[in-house]
Structures are given as structure tokens and as C-alpha cells.
Structure 1
Amino acid sequence: MLKREENHVFAAPVEAVVARWTDADFLTGMMQDQGSREISVTVEHLSSDQIQVAITRQVPVDAPAMIRAVIGSWLDLTQRDVWTRAADGSWSAVRDAKPKGLSAEGQCLLTLTGNADGGATCAAIVSVQSRAPMVAAMVESLMLEDSTKLLRQEFAAVDAASG
């Protein structure tokens, strides 16, 4: 298993950032901008303190030709985010992502807290794990790089939409 920590500061408050990350139209547009296709986003407000987002999409494979020859140029990806508000007003999310046809999966733990200037600080831990014999390290490395790149693009998209 490989892990990476990412941090980002949003100018917008926590509630505005969560509103973006749980808005089906915003997520669909952002994922189209990232190059995804066949995007389906379902948002379910389970309570005032819990929101579930289910996403399916095809993502372009950014990998060496030998990998693309095996898995193709597109991957079907299923993602599920569960957002939960804490008593202090912070929000956290557990994001699980599973590419179809690969014995690998990714997870991202996001925590949004308010900061002194009215913005929000996001701490993220991205992890990937593969159970593919012989190629696990290569698959994990590629998935970690791609997951981190997409997360940074999400940060930028939320910033642009909230600014």
C-alpha cells in the first residue's frame, strides 16, 4: 500500500467547499474537464450531517503503452464519497474508488476545518492498494500519481467555483 498526504487552503468557508464537492452538476462538469466521460453522479442527503455521493465514470488511462495494452485506454471507475459533519462544524469524507477490471482500489480521507480568515483548510490522505501479483508496486505507483493529480485538479476547480 502506498500513501501520500496533500494539504490545501481554500478561500471559501467549509460549508461552501462541501457544497461544491456534493453538487452533482459541479462534479459532472469538473470530471468532464478532467477528461472523464460516461459520468453519472448521484447525491443523497442522508441527514443534515451526512451526505453520500456515488459516481461512476470512465477515466482516461495515463500510463505507459504496455499497461494500456493490458487494461485499455479507458477505465470504468466507481467512486463513493461519504461526507460527515462533526459537532465543531468541520466536515470529513471517506472516498473509496475502485477501477473495474483491476485488483486495486484507492481511498482518500478528507478533513475540512475552518481557519481564522474564514476559509477552509483541507487535509487529505490518499492511499492505493493493489493485489495484482508481480505488478502491484507499479500499479500502486501509477494509481497514486493519478489520484493525487486528480485531487489537485479538484482543489483548483473548487477554488475557481467558490471564488
Structure 2
Amino acid sequence: MELTFTHRFDASIDELWAMVHDPASHVAKFTRMGHRDLEVLAEEVGDDALDITIRRQVDIDVPSIASKFISPANTVTSVDHWKRAADGSCAGHYEVDIKGAPAQTRGTTRIVADGDGASYTVVLDVKVKVPMVGDRIAKALRPQLEAQMLQEFEASEAWLAGER
């Protein structure tokens, strides 16, 4: 199942790049979203790139159809890569591993100038590897995924507003 989320920020693309390029913003985002026991496993910051791997504990509301396959408390490891292009746009890709869950999540990110602000688009591809019911489980998780993305955008707005 593929989902696309876009959020427009009143901040400039340079301000958004400064945020996603700063490893502390990723930790702050997940903390604000209620994730706990965060550990940065790896980070590499270059002039125009960031690679960061973060492991954390995440609690979710598991739909009844998924309760046999997905726990409400999960160890999640995300690997994010961001790069700034010569035209100023920012793009990346990520993978999320949920320990012990038959789910695979990966996607792409893109930030582009949008008038006096910037638009941030996240494409999320979720696959649940359970024979015969995997697609139904993924669709049942959709409201949870939508809520997580809204929380992520809200956390980014808070960071940009100086709430760290």
C-alpha cells in the first residue's frame, strides 16, 4: 500500500534543510511523537547530506485484524538519508524495520520551495507479509499511519518554531 502525504510550511526551504540536516531534530521529532528509549545508532553529517539510524520504542493501537501479527509495543529502527541538490531542493529515502513484525516500510521524502514557504512530501510504501490477509492488515493500519504522519509534521512545525 502506498500513501502520499504533503505538508506546506511557512518556513523557507533553507530553514527546512537546516532542520532535516540536524540529527537533533530527528531525535526531538520522535520524542515529541511519544517514542521512548531513543538511541542514535549511526549518524553521518556532510555538507549536503545526512545519514542517520535511530532505534526506539513505539506504541501503536493495533487493529484487531493485526493483533496476531503486530504487537502494540515495538522496537523500531529507522534509517534515513537526506541530500540537498544543487537547485536547493532536498530529497531522501528511508527504511523502517519493526522488530519481529511481518511489515516492511520504506519510502521517499522531498522538500521543494513553495512561494515564500516550502512543501514537504513523504511517500510511504507499507507491505505486510502475511499470506492472504497482509493487504487487509496494511489497510487497517492506514489510520495509524496517517496519525503518525500528522504528528511528524506537527513535530517539525514545533522544531521550526523553536520548541526543542
Report the CA distance between 1:124 and its aligned residue: 2.0
- 5 Å-filtered alignment, 1:76-91, equals 76-91=75-90
Aligned residue in 2 for 1:106 = 105
* Sequence identity (%): 26
Distance 1:142 1:34, change over 3 A: farther
Aligned residue in 2 for 1:132 = 130
Q: Distance in 2 between matches of 1:123 and 1:86?
A: 16
**CA deviation digits over 1:70-115, x for unaligned, max 9?**
5432011110110011110100010111111122111231110112
Aligned residue in 2 for 1:149 = 147
Q: Distance in 2 between matches of 1:66 and 1:143?
A: 10
| Partner SS, residue 152 of structure 1 | helix
8 Å contact from structure 1 (residues 107, 128) kept in 2: yes
Report the count of equivalent residues: 160
Q: Distance in 2 between matches of 1:23 and 1:31?
A: 14
Aligned residue in 2 for 1:115 = 114
8 Å contact from structure 1 (residues 128, 144) kept in 2: no
Q: Distance in 2 between matches of 1:152 and 1:109?
A: 16
RMSD: 2.0
* Structure 1: gaps (5+ residues): none
Report whether the alignment pairs 1:51 with 2:50.
yes
| Partner SS, residue 38 of structure 1 | strand
| Partner SS, residue 80 of structure 2 | strand
Aligned residue in 1 for 2:31 = 32
* Structure 2: gaps (5+ residues): none
AA matched with 1:72: S
TM-score (norm 1): 0.85
AA matched with 1:100: K
8 Å contact from structure 2 (residues 20, 82) kept in 1: no
TM-score (norm 2): 0.85
